[in-house]
Amino acid sequence: MLALFAGATAIATAPLFVKVSETGPVATAFWRVALALPFLWTWSLAVQRGEHYASFTAERRLIIAAGLFFAGDLAVWHWSIVLTSVANSTLLANLAPIFVTLAVWVLVRRSPTAAFLAGLAIALTGVALLIGADFRLGARELAGDALGVITAMFYAAYQLTVTRLRASVATASLMAWSGLVTAVALLPVALLSGEQILPATMTGWVKLIGLALIAQAAGQSLIAYAMAHLPATVSSVGLLLQPVLAALFAWALLGEALGWLQFAGGVAVLVGIRIAQRAELRA
């Protein structure tokens, strides 16, 4: 759980970097992954050695799927962040628990417990309160909100795939190989979209490096590690801490308004996470 919350905190900084990036949304997603790859591959080769390549050979289909799901998640989410507020985009991206729970229900044919659903409902209600005062109905914001929901679908698929992989693939190898797939998938999309590919200043490069090291290398690795030791439904609900922190960061650093409803929502999210976590662990 500590790794999960630390990873959620690191990822909560990602929207801030995306908001101030000098490159396009998909290009920023590409650099986020590409700049983290040298660190991830060095880590994997150092600790896994021969197992690094054996892991990919044995689980290449799932690893490629994880990389593609994450590419879709990043590309769509970054556009959502640009079009709407940090709180809105992060909230909707973290609706992934709904899709994870539904997927587990359908694929495993195991209904979630009443206590888990209650915790999930409280958490989602809290997230709705978190952004309620800032939910706008302009066309630009609605497009961003719609992309946020699509992000949640990609992220749910990524979480389920990573959870299955972590039974046989070490965190280091998983992050190195899936990250390579993600970067390869994102680059042509960024180039074909006509976005700004390279930052205009050295400060722009510093922002991209910060995004790569904090959100990607640290955040995603911690979450992948946590998923190896927690049920998928617990992991996805625990990550609802992310929109709370993202909203706080956006308020403190970007000046996005955060009223008492948002604070109340943050408390509700944390309470819901705890209820759902305990319910799932007891199931």
Quick one: residue 277, left, alpha or beta (phi over 0 = left, psi -120 to 50 = alpha)?
A: alpha
CA 248 to chain centre: 17
Query: Which position has the higher pLDDT, 206 or 245?
Result: 206
Q: Which residues of 135-164 are buried (b: 16+ CB within 10 A; e: fewer)?
A: eeeeeebeebbebbebbbbbbbbbbbbbbb
Domain count, the chain: 1
What pLDDT is recorded for position 269?
80
- Can you give the pLDDT at residue 66? 94
Amino acid letter, residue 110: R
What letter does residue 138 receive in the DSSP assignment?
Answer: -
**What's the whole-model pTM score?**
0.84
More confident: 177 or 274? 177
Res 280: pLDDT: 66
Q: CB–CB of 99/152 below 8 Å?
A: yes
Out of 3-12, 28-37, 202-211, 267-276, which region has the weakest mean confidence (pLDDT)?
267-276
Instruction: Output the pLDDT for position 22.
Output: 96
**DSSP code at position 24:** -
Which pLDDT does position 247 carry in this prediction?
85
Range 175-197 average pLDDT:
95
Structure tokens belonging to residue 129: 């309160």
Section 126-140 average pLDDT = 66
What b/e string do you get for 171-206 counting C-beta neighbours within 10 Å, with b at 16 or more? Answer: bbbbbbbbbbbbbbbbbebbeeeeeebebeeeebbe
Mind listing the pLDDT tens digit for each residue in 19-37? 999 999 999 999 999 999 9
Which residue range is the domain that position 144 belongs to?
Answer: 2-282
User: Which residue bears the tokens 């992954």?
Assistant: 33
pLDDT at site 279? 74
Q: What percent of the chain has pLDDT over 90?
A: 35
Distance CA(103)–CA(69), nearest Å, equals: 15
Q: d(Cα 113, Cα 115) in Å, to the nearest integer?
A: 5
Residue 29, pLDDT score: 97
pLDDT of residue 95: 77
pLDDT band of 232, cuts 50, 70, 90: low
Size (the chain), residues: 283
Average pLDDT over residues 69-82: 95
